[in-house]
Structures are given as C-alpha cells and as structure tokens.
C-alpha cells in the first residue's frame, strides 16, 4: 500500500469545476449520474464505477459527433474518481488504464487533472511496473533487402511505372512554399528528420515498452476499415507491441494503431519527435498530430483527407499512390456520409467490370523510406501500404 501522503491524486480542476459540471449534467437529465458521482467523491467505489458506466452509455447513445460535450466531461470526472480509488489501493495498472480511458474518450474540461494524474501514477509505478512480458526470440530490426521484382509483386498493378514523386534534399522553407505548396505538388524531403530522437529510440521495442507499455491505446483489427470483419479494441501498448512482433503478413486480422493523437496522450513519446517547419508554410496552423504504427502488410483504403498532410516515416517503408482531385468521381467514392471520403475501389483486387475507369487513370506514387517526409495537398486521394 502507498503511504497516506502518496496515495492521493490531486485534482485541482475537478475541485474547482466539479460543482458547475454536476449542475450542467443535471440540466441534461443526468440525475442518476450526479447521485453516483457525489457518492464517488466521498470514496464509494461502487458509485464511482456506476457513474462511469452511466457516462459510458451516454457516449455510445448515438454517433460520436452528436454526443453532448457535457457527457464527455462527465466521463472524465468518473474516470478520475475511479482512478483515485485504485491508486489509493496501489492498483497502479488499473489506475493508469482508467486514466487513459478518460484521455481517449473524455472531454477537455478536466484534461489537466488527467495528465497530472497519469504522471504521478507512472512515477510511482516506476520501472517495477514495466517488467518485460515473456516472449519468443525476435529479430524485429532485421533488414531484409528485397529485389525489385519481389517488391513490385506485393504492390498494386502499375505501381512505380508512371510518374514518381520527386525527392528533394535540403529543401528550404521558401523553396518548399514556392515550388510545391503553392502549386499543390507532392514532394519527398529526404533529410528533415535526422535530429529526431525517435529515429533511434523507436527501433528499440524495450524502450517503447518502458515508456508506454502500461498505457491503454485504441487499435484497429482487420485488413482495413471497409472490411466487415474490421473492429476496434482497447489494449495496452505492450500487448500491441507483442501482436506486432508475432505478426504474420498473411494474417487477415493484423492489429494497427491508426490516426490516433498518441502524442497528446503519451507525453514521453511526444518528446521524441519534432514538428517540421514545413507544417506552417503559408501561415497555416497545425490541425492535428497523429500516429500510425503497425506491422508489414497493413493497407489503408484509397481515400482523401480534408486538409494538407505532412507524413513523416520514422521506421520502415511505405508505398503511397496519389491521384489528382480532378479524378474524384472516376475513383467511385462511397455515397454514404460516413464513407464518402473513401473509394469503393480495392487496388489490390481491381474489379474492372464494376470500376472500368480506374485502370487507365494517371497517378503519382513512391515508396516513402525511413527518415523522409512527404508533403500531400489536401485534395489528393491516396491509399497507403505500410
């Protein structure tokens, strides 16, 4: 057990904003939640879990964008109460898991309390809570040189046969803005990441386990999000790494971390990367900072994003194909609202009867290598093979 002084998680934001938040939840009909949260604040563990379950149900009452922000903050509050009780009993892994759920699913009102609580729990847990899991002998960093014919065999038809994305070393910000950004042209910048600590640290699985192993993260399981078998899970980072190490490229259900604000959640990993100056070209602002992390053979379906992208390849290689926005309709986008940014075309198994226009469309492509960044204009549609 922790000492009485160490067993307390300080929650200044909750202490000051709690009464106002409870009042807002009452106005949204959350009487049962308020009753349970009040008991939880007094130390009732069953009430704390009940409050969290009530908020969780509200988060899943409809589409995510329609969830009222007050219930996201309510979920954060309940997670803080539950984590505090676990922490007081030295249940550090459970406390950390609950806090991560608050960071992933909760609102912004109590974010500082969640962050500070994670830091304290992690500090108390120390290296003792990060004992390496038993695992088979591995050779994760082994580099396998494949000849060109073998590489092309694993890529979609016509890959690397047309216009290749240009690669530029030592590209100045002015040159990037003038020659590529303003014209909407993609470019690979080959020497922009040499100073990133992640370049060396993230090739060490033991390092990743040490700094993030006990943290809970959302992962995707399945070939891609368009497949009926695709699903999402919440697992620890150590469990995720173990799945990657055991990955069979022929597996139909690879596990993958995709488009998750990992660096907002795990500050230790944020220290390992740097924001490229190119992200601020033209006076723009950084819209989001996300992480993709997965095994070989993972593929993102053909799609487009609503804003510009800078992709930074920390480890491994990635095949990328780009089509101009003018060819949008020829790429047969879905008509459903949730999937309208995605194409119905599977480039790995092209159905030329259903999608006759695709085969003759021109595109640019490339293999993004370790330590390089790629600028993508927001109108580009592309699949990404990882």
Determine the Cα–Cα distance for residues 34 and 50; give it in Å rounded to an integer. Answer: 11
Query: What domains can be seen in the chain, in order of their start residue?
Result: 12-129 (no CATH), 148-385 (2.60.120.650)
Q: Where are the beta strands (DSSP E) in the chain?
A: 163-164, 167-168, 187-189, 216-221, 231-236, 255-260, 291-293, 299-304, 309-312, 318-322, 364-368, 373-376, 381-385
| Cβ–Cβ under 8 Å, residues 301 and 332 | no
Phi/psi for 234 (5° steps) reads -115, 115
pLDDT for 339 equals 87
pLDDT for 139 equals 35
Query: Per-residue confidence of the chain (386 residues) as pLDDT tens digits?
Result: 555 445 689 999 999 999 999 999 999 999 999 999 999 999 999 999 999 999 999 999 888 888 999 999 999 999 999 999 999 999 999 999 999 999 999 999 999 999 999 999 999 987 444 443 443 333 333 334 445 666 677 888 889 988 999 999 989 999 999 999 888 899 999 988 999 999 999 999 999 999 999 999 999 998 888 888 889 999 999 999 999 888 655 566 889 999 899 999 999 999 999 999 898 887 777 888 999 998 887 888 899 888 888 999 999 999 999 998 888 899 999 998 788 889 999 988 889 999 999 988 999 999 999 999 988 765 444 444 43
| Cβ–Cβ under 8 Å, residues 99 and 124 | no
Q: Where are the beta strands (DSSP E) in 91-228?
A: 163-164, 167-168, 187-189, 216-221
Partners of 318 in the β-ladder: 368
User: What is the SS3 assignment for 88?
Assistant: helix
Phi/psi for 177 (5° steps) reads -65, -45
pLDDT for 204 equals 94
DSSP type of residue 161: S
Determine if the pTM surpasses 0.85: no
Determine the Cα–Cα distance for residues 51 and 1; give it in Å rounded to an integer. Answer: 25
Contacts of 151 (CB under 8 A, 6+ apart): 367
pLDDT for 326 equals 87
Handedness of CA 55, 123, 262, 137 (dihedral sign): negative
Among 223, 258, 227, which residue's Cα sits nearest to residue 339?
227
pLDDT for 113 equals 97
Phi/psi for 15 (5° steps) reads -60, -40
pLDDT for 228 equals 84
Contacts of 86 (CB under 8 A, 6+ apart): 92, 94, 95, 98
């Amino acid at each position: 057990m922790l000492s009485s002084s160490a067993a307390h998680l300080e929650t200044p934001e909750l202490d000051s904003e709690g009464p106002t938040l409870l009042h807002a939840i009452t106005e949204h009909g959350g009487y049962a939640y308020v009753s349970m949260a009040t008991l939880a604040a007094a130390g009732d563990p069953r009430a704390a879990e009940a409050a969290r379950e009530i908020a969780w149900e509200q988060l899943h009452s409809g589409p995510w964008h329609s969830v009222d922000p007050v219930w996201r903050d309510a979920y954060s509050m309940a997670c803080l109460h539950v984590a505090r009780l676990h922490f007081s009993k030295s249940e550090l892994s459970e406390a950390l898991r609950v806090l991560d759920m608050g960071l992933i699913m909760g609102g912004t009102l109590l974010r500082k309390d969640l962050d500070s609580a994670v830091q304290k729990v992690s500090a108390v847990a120390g290296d003792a809570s990060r004992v390496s899991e038993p695992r088979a002998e591995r050779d994760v960093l082994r580099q396998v040189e494949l000849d060109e014919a073998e590489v092309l065999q694993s890529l979609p038809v016509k890959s690397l046969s047309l216009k290749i994305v240009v690669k530029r070393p030592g590209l100045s910000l002015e040159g990037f803005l003038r020659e590529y950004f303003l014209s909407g042209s993609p470019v690979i910048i080959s020497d922009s990441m040499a100073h990133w600590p992640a370049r060396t640290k993230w090739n060490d699985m033991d390092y990743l386990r040490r700094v993030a192993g006990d943290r809970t993260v959302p992962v995707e399981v399945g070939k891609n999000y368009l497949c009926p078998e695709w699903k999402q899970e919440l697992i620890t980072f150590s469990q995720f790494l173990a799945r990657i190490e055991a990955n069979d490229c022929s597996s139909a259900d690879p596990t993958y971390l995709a488009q998750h604000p990992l660096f907002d959640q795990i500050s230790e990993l944020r220290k390992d990367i740097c924001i490229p100056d190119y992200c601020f070209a033209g006076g723009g602002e950084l819209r989001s900072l996300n992480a993709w992390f997965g095994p070989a053979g993972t593929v993102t379906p053909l799609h487009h994003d609503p804003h510009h992208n800078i992709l930074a390849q920390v480890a491994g290689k990635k095949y990328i194909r780009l089509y101009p926005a003018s060819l949008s309709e020829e790429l047969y986008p879905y008509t459903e609202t949730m999937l309208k940014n995605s194409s119905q075309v599977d480039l790995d198994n092209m159905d030329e009867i259903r999608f006759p226009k695709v085969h003759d469309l021109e595109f640019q492509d490339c293999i993004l290598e370790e330590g390089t960044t790629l600028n993508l204009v927001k109108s580009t549609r592309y699949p990404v093979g990882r």
